[in-house]
């Protein structure tokens, strides 16, 4: 009987010791952006399982906080958006879902780190202007747009400032 008590005391940690160990495991969690986030959630499940074996329970809010602490900056926006959408109903599985989706959409594959980032360059000869219908520039950079502006200014000046046919004096019309 004494042997059983000794083994139980030695291998069954007390509440405080179990809480300290579990908190230490939570604090030491880390995730890099190129890593599969499901690894993080597997470790969280292991910590949650370990807490279930003792009297020291890890609350889900602690696990959610650990996700925020371990997640790289690239994930913080989607995690925050999920939190805003779900509110008080936010659960660990919601965070796992959005992180895994983001990881897959960003080209993540288990064990493979992308060596080259894809950049898109527009060839000037393929850019089409919707203003003047010519190739080589966009409508926001259209040279004919500037010409049209200057023509409009001249036309407006001509409409508002006229010369009287009778006395040859310049008159202002249009309320100016």
Closest of 94, 96, 81 to residue 39, by C-alpha = 96
User: Higher-confidence residue: 122 or 142?
Assistant: 142
Separation in Å, CA 167 to CA 52, 159, 170, 171, 174: 101, 18, 9, 10, 19
C-alpha span between 23 and 45 (Å, rounded): 14
C-alpha span between 165 and 170 (Å, rounded): 10
Percent of the chain with pLDDT over 90: 22
Q: What is the largest CA-CA distance in the chain?
A: 127
Phi-psi region of 172 (alpha: psi -120 to 50; beta: other; left: phi over 0): beta
| pTM exceeds cut of 0.85 | no
For residue 174, give every residue at least 6 positions away whose Cβ sits within 8 Å of its Cβ, in sequence order, or none. 159, 160
Q: Of 49-58, 72-81, 140-149, which one has max mean pLDDT?
A: 72-81
Closest of 58, 149, 39, 153 to residue 103, by C-alpha = 39
Q: What was the pLDDT predicted at 70?
A: 92
Any idea which of 44-58, 64-78, 108-122, 154-168 has the lowest mean pLDDT? Answer: 108-122
C-alpha span between 93 and 99 (Å, rounded): 10
Q: What was the pLDDT predicted at 99?
A: 92
Q: What was the pLDDT predicted at 114?
A: 46
Paired with 35 in beta bridges are none
Q: What was the pLDDT predicted at 136?
A: 80
Phi-psi region of 91 (alpha: psi -120 to 50; beta: other; left: phi over 0): beta
Percent of the chain with pLDDT over 70: 67
Query: Each residue of 96-134: b (16+ CB within 10 Å) or e?
Result: bebbbebbeeeebeeeeeeeeeeeeeeeeeeeebeeeee
Q: What was the pLDDT predicted at 129?
A: 84
């Amino acid at each position: 009987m004494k042997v059983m008590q000794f083994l139980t005391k030695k291998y069954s940690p007390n509440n405080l010791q179990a809480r300290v160990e579990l908190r230490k495991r939570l604090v030491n969690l880390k995730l890099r952006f190129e890593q599969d986030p499901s690894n993080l959630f597997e470790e969280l499940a292991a910590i949650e399982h370990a807490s279930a074996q003792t009297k020291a329970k890890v609350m889900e809010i602690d696990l959610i906080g650990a996700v925020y602490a371990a997640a790289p900056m690239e994930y913080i926006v989607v995690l925050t958006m999920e939190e805003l959408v779900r509110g008080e109903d936010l659960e660990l599985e919601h965070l796992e879902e959005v992180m895994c989706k983001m990881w897959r959409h960003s080209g993540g594959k288990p064990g493979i780190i992308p060596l080259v980032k894809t950049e898109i360059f527009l060839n000037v000869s393929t850019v089409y202007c919707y203003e003047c219908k010519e190739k080589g520039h966009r409508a926001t950079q259209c040279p004919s747009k500037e010409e049209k502006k200057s023509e409009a200014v001249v036309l407006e000046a001509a409409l508002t400032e006229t010369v009287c046919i009778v006395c040859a004096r310049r008159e202002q019309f249009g309320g100016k």
